[in-house]
Structure 1
């Protein structure tokens, strides 16, 4: 069967370990984007295998199991944070909580529209205010400053697809990465806009991105310390933790990383304060009617 743009495929040369969407076809080469991982790859058409619906269903079930585990861990942490806030916002649990929360607002730039939808769905499920924008990675630096001025976010996510291309240089050369330079440029623009790392918290990177470059550019959190693939939803779990943590507290780096799907081999960061503010009093207009 002829392979077409939009098909789901796997690579024989990698034992069909990952599923990809065919993004573009050029002669005998296909440009691929990871179905669940933020990875770009090129592959000869002869190396590709069309994935059956049965195989996709089986893979989705495996991925969902991993995603559900991360979601449960995050909800457990969120519940503990809420209980602590209720204790501090009321008379030590002796009355109903009388506070309201202003969670950190997220501006999420994503190079993949499919992933952006998955991420915004999860943000909404977690109760995180978000403004999502789909842009090709190379277009992000051009649009970022105007978006920052319009949205006024507390947290910025700059992600999409990336990959280390061995033929372009060794692992220490930024030019050997497909999109790290665009992510790093975005971080520098954002830091010029807001230099303080606790006033604008930044996550940058995708699969195999050059972690050190992104951190040095000014990111609080980035991928990928060991140049491995990261899951599509990992940026959400990191910034959601920041969004739901009080600005008076530092976010525990270990707590942030352990709730992700990829873990500390694919994600890292620096000490960072939360972005949420608690206010008093909470007024329930429904009761006053």
Structure 2
């Protein structure tokens, strides 16, 4: 079967372990090479045309069912966390008195830059479900360092997400060499530009990275949370779970790293970070505008 742009494929040499979208097909050095983006994992890869197989509808459903099960588990755990946070906040805001609609919440505002429009849409849908205020921008990874400053001036976020696709290639260098990664250096440059605007780690919380990204460089550049400590693939929605937890944790509370990572789909092997304050603020009284 002929393989075309946007087809969903698997790699024979990897036993079709990950579902990919075909992004580009080129003739390079006498053989056809195909550029691939992970459908559920933030991984970019190149593969020989002959190594790929088109995934049929039945196989596709199996991949999606597996992904959906993982997503639902994380979503359920996160919703439990948020509900407990809200109950505690209501108790503290009213000194234990039960009274409806007597306070309002201001969760941390998120600016999310994503190199993949399909992933961005998935993330935006989840932010909306959680009630996180967010502006999502599709931006190629190479352009992020050039655009981040003006975007921050425009939106003034509390939390910044810098993600998209990445991959480590051992043929390009050692794991410690940032030039052996597809987009890690662009993520690092973007974090550095953002920190020029807001140096303080608790005034702007940054998540940066994608699959197999150079975790140490991202943290040293100024990210609060980053991927990927073990250079594994991270799920497309993992940044949202981390960011939503930060957005809904009160600003007087510290977020312990494990409390954030435990409900993500890839855990501490795929994500890591440093202690960080939450971004939620509570106000009183809640006074909705009355409709005439």
Whether TM-score is above 0.5 comes out as yes
SS of the equivalent of 1:158 reads: strand
Query: Mean alpha-carbon deviation: is it higher for 84-93 or for 190-199?
Result: 84-93
Alpha-carbon offset, residue 146 of structure 1:
0.3
Q: Which residue in the other structure is 2:21 paired with?
A: 21
Identify the residue that residue 42 of structure 2 maps to in structure 1.
38
Name the CA distance, whole Å, in 2 between partners of 1:93 and 1:24.
60
Q: CA deviation at 1:59?
A: 1.1
What secondary structure, in the 3-state scheme, does the structure 1 residue paired with 2:270 have? coil
Asked if residue 172 in structure 1 is aligned to residue 148 in structure 2, the reply is no
Deviations 1:76-133 (A, max 9, x none): 0000000001101124043225110000000000000000000000000000000000
Specify every segment of 5 or more residues in structure 1 that has no aligned partner in the other structure, as ranges.
Answer: none
1:31 positional shift: 0.2
Q: Residues of 1 paired with 2:256 and 2:80: CA distance?
A: 15
- What secondary structure does 2:269 align onto? coil
Give the corresponding residue for 1:255.
Answer: 259
What displacement does 1:185 show?
Answer: 0.3
Tell me, in whole angstroms, the C-alpha distance in 1 between the residues paired with 2:174 and 2:97. 57
Q: What whole-Å deviation, never above 9, does each CA across 1:47-82 have from its counterpart, x for those lacking one?
A: 001000111111111110000000000000000000
User: What is the rounded CA distance, in whole Å, between the counterparts of 1:270 and 1:131 in structure 2?
Assistant: 24
Q: Count residues with an aligned counterpart.
A: 288
Q: Structure 1 stretches (4+) deviating beyond 2 angstroms?
A: 93-97
Root mean square deviation of aligned Cα: 1.0
Distance 1:96 1:89 in 2: 12
Structure 2 runs not aligned, ≥5 long: none
1:79 matched to 2:55: no
